[in-house]
Structure 1
């Protein structure tokens, strides 16, 4: 099917092509026949029996021009709609990235808080080690004093 026609399933149709198959139902959108409906053999053009039958009579030029103009406006709106859909998908992707960034920022804050707690523990342990060193030095001094006394 070309861009110049549009198919439709018409179950009430009893049109059959020369191959004995149910003929396809189309609406033409070529400049010369815009809006005219027709039946055509369902097989590809190379295997087709050539069956073709117009449903509508030739339309006045004014009607053809109006149909062509409306068709081009519909096509332009479809194109614009597709572009807007693509923008929405893009924006949804940006939103997902922003949510992930916010989650990572929250994780960083949590890690910084944990890091701060660990730093305070390290400071306390260093203070305890310093106190233990003083106790050990004093103990060694007293031990040396006790053993250096004459007996």
Structure 2
């Protein structure tokens, strides 16, 4: 009787493993089972964002323009903020239009972030969007943490 040795065992194992393959007959057709992947794209056409999702209750139908110095409070959602749906996983004060132009100075103050959305056109900032706190506890920048 002959001893196999390690080389013989590995050779046999390689032969067995290479024999264990299956290639389906392409003439047999495709599977009739549905795919197991989800739909591509957003679930809601009113939703925006990649790192988080912001969903507007209604898409804007007109451009949004700020011509003078305007202060927007983000802590308690004000009338200038667009209402969001429950599909949103980010809260904030959203200013939205088909396009958005800031010709004046836009100040955002409060605990929630200030979010600008243009659905069909550009966002043009001619002056400034200021969300800084400037060391004033009464006018904390939009999205800032509470002092202390």
Q: TM-score, structure 1 length as denominator?
A: 0.18
Q: TM-score, structure 2 length as denominator?
A: 0.19
Q: When you count strand as a share of all residues, which structure comes out higher?
A: 2
Q: When you count helix as a share of all residues, which structure comes out higher?
A: 1
